[in-house]
């Protein structure tokens, strides 16, 4: 029986291209494709796929939140990311959240996608060549890899929505002093001095999305 795969990307053209590569190997079958997280979760619940291929380019969510949601819905499903980013810290955070593979879009997907699928089916991690190089540079840099916990990510997402510190404190049932401390930690993590630069870096690295409200 073919291994079931769900695709997720905000680009139909990208999903058609990925599906065409997958269909060159009859060991795999694409059972559904979606452009939003809510539709991905519906497909995961319906088909219980062995693999979900997620793009960092999904409407309405950041990639870490999408990974957590899919993992919560179907813990035994392997997640593979196809992204534009080669940030070693983001890749590290994704693997901490049980992502099995990361493919950089500018690497030759036709050459590495099927290899990635074969690898993650064996419950082994896979990184495409460029992503692997950046990940190793991060690990060998000697700098601690700071993970963003749920609290820090919540503050980051609120800041990206333009919500004030006092309002964030109220929403999270904590003190403004605590939120200021988390904000300062986030600034150090991303190497910036202002909220504007913090949000810009966080969006660029895929840790949050800008509010569309």
CATH number of the structural domain spanning residue 77: 3.40.50.2300
In the predicted structure, residue 190 carries a pLDDT above the cut 90: no
Q: What is the pTM of this model?
A: 0.74
Residues 29 and 116 in one domain: yes
- Confidence (pLDDT) at 85: 75
In the predicted structure, residue 39 carries a pLDDT above the cut 60: yes
Question: pLDDT tens digit string along 133-161?
Answer: 878 877 776 555 566 777 888 898 888 88
Residues 158 and 96 in one domain: no
- Confidence (pLDDT) at 167: 93
Measured CA to CA, the distance from residue 165 to residue 151 in angstroms comes to 14
- Confidence (pLDDT) at 140: 72
Is 211 within a domain?
no
Per the structure, how many domains does the chain have? 2
In the predicted structure, residue 127 carries a pLDDT above the cut 80: yes
* Structural domain harbouring 183: 150-204
Bridge partners (DSSP) of residue 39 are none
Is 14 within a domain?
yes
In the predicted structure, residue 213 carries a pLDDT above the cut 50: no
- Confidence (pLDDT) at 59: 66
Query: Domain ends where: 98, 114, 140?
Result: 140
Residues 74 and 121 in one domain: yes
- Confidence (pLDDT) at 212: 47
Cβ contacts of 171 within 8 Å, gap of 6 or more: 158, 163
Measured CA to CA, the distance from residue 158 to residue 142 in angstroms comes to 31
130-162 in b/e burial notation, b at 16+ Cβ within 10 A? ebbebbeebeeeeeeeeebeeebbbbbbbbbbe
Residues 155 and 136 in one domain: no
Going by pLDDT thresholds of 50, 70 and 90, the confidence category of residue 205 is low
Residues 35 and 88 in one domain: yes
Which range has the worst mean pLDDT, 29-33, 64-68, 77-81, 101-105? 64-68
Q: State percent of the chain over pLDDT 70.
A: 91
Is 210 within a domain?
no
Residues 37 and 105 in one domain: yes
Query: Domain ends where: 115, 140, 165?
Result: 140
As a dihedral over the C-alpha atoms of residue 131, residue 135, residue 136, residue 142, rounded to 10 degrees, the angle is 160
Residues 164 and 66 in one domain: no
Question: pLDDT tens digit string along 59-71?
Answer: 667 788 889 899 9
CB 54 within 8 Å of CB 66:
yes
| 103 burial type by CB count under 10 A (0-12 exposed, 13-18 middle, 19+ buried) | buried
In the predicted structure, residue 56 carries a pLDDT above the cut 90: no
Question: pLDDT tens digit string along 23-35?
Answer: 999 999 999 999 9
**Which structure tokens are listed for 44?**
């995961």
Query: Domain ends where: 122, 140, 158?
Result: 140
Residues 128 and 90 in one domain: yes
CB 68 within 8 Å of CB 93:
no
Q: Tell me the mean pLDDT in the region 9-38.
A: 92
């Amino acid at each position: 029986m073919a291994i079931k795969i769900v695709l997720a990307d905000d680009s139909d053209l990208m999903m058609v291209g990925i599906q065409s590569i997958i269909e060159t190997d009859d060991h795999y079958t694409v059972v559904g494709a979606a452009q939003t997280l809510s539709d991905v979760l519906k497909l995961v619940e319906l088909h219980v796929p062995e693999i979900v291929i997620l793009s960092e380019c999904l409407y309405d969510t950041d990639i870490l939140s999408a990974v957590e949601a899919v993992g919560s819905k179907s813990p035994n499903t392997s997640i593979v990311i196809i992204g534009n980013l080669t940030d070693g810290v983001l890749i590290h955070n994704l693997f901490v959240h049980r992502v099995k593979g990361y493919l950089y879009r500018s690497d030759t997907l036709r050459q590495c996608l099927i290899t990635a699928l074969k690898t993650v089916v064996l419950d082994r991690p896979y990184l495409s060549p460029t992503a692997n190089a950046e990940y190793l540079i991060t690990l060998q840099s000697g700098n601690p890899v700071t993970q963003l916990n749920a609290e820090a990510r919540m503050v980051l997402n609120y800041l990206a929505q333009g919500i004030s510190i006092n309002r964030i404190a109220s929403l999270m049932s904590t003190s403004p002093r605590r939120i200021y401390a988390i904000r300062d930690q986030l600034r150090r993590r991303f190497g910036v001095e202002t909220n504007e630069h913090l949000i810009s870096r966080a969006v660029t690295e895929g840790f949050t999305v800008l509010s569309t409200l």
